[in-house]
Amino acid sequence: MQLLRPLAGGEAAIVTELGGSALLDVAEAHVADLGGGLKVKRALPHAKRRSVGPFVFLDHFGPHRFPPLGGMDVRPHPHIGLATITWLFTGAVMHRDSLGCVQRIEPGEVNWMTAGGGIVHSERTPMDLRPQGSEVHGLQFWVGLPLEHEEVEPSFQHVGKADLAQVSMGDARGTLVVGSTLGAISPVRVYSPLVLAVFTLAAGGTAAIPSVAPERAIYIVSGQLSVAGASASSEVFGSGSLVLLREGVEARIRAHDALSFALIGGTPIGPRMLYWNFVSSGRERIERAKADWAAGRFPPVPGETEFIPLPER
């Protein structure tokens, strides 16, 4: 995969390659400041592994406490060629987009936004949480769309907590967010075979991660884990680590303390280019999207008057 946009301050880098077990590689997320003190751990893309299945981007934001009257204010910005997934552990975010969708998301719920040929959205702390201050903590993923769906009509899906399946792996308990695995299917409509599930595992607990997809990885949200068969010098990994697993090999993990992690994976969709918020299989399409945003040709978000300008680099 070719990366057109350098990530500010550098990219997450491969730490090592470990043989003799289900552990393939480990990458440490790069920390970036989004402004207002809100920092993210960016695990995808990175220098040697641009994607895991169709997942081309992974941001872990927070935990962050906003002061009274403060909040997250991600102004309207565009996307093409991808779908976004937002998953919260704490707090709430108000989504607004150029389709006219207005949707509050809270922990345990799913927002899946398909950009396709082009969409604009904003993400802000709801007004009712601002007077007293609030905390936000969550994950955002970008999923590249297959060639035949890159220019699909944009759409938005929200799925409530009660409609998501609870799944388990050994001692690990979690929620299947999108895709299918462990005998469950998420109601979120997707465009290629993939899986995203979020788990907790108590200290000392173990779990066997099945080979659910040709490419798969564990992102550690909090706590520490080890993978059976890894070398003793580097067997413990903590928050911000993206643990890449070998294809076709069951991975046995153990929690060293209270552990929270996301399992991602799927079928690769082929090389993709990334520039700012745009994902595409073709350079010309990205250049056209850049020109369209700079010229104001993307549809507006109703009720929003601000926007994020196209970056100079």
Over residues 8-37, the pLDDT tens digits come to 333 333 333 344 478 999 999 999 887 767
Q: CATH assignment of 13-271+280-294, given 3.40.50.970, 3.40.1830.10, 2.60.120.10, 2.40.33.20?
A: 2.60.120.10
Percentage of residues of the chain with pLDDT beyond 90: 85
The token pair that represents 251 in the structure block = 């991975």
Numbers of helices and strands, H then E, in the chain: 1, 26
Number of residues in the chain: 313
Q: What is the pLDDT of residues 59-99, one digit of tens each?
A: 999 999 999 999 999 999 999 999 999 999 999 999 999 99
What is d(CA 9, CA 5) in angstroms, rounded to the nearest whole number?
12
The structural domains of the chain, with segments of one domain joined by +, span: 13-271+280-294
Longest Cα–Cα distance of the chain, Å, equals 56
CA angle 153, 86, 72 (to 5 degrees): 110
In this prediction, residues 117-133 reach a mean pLDDT of 97
pLDDT for the residue 229: 66
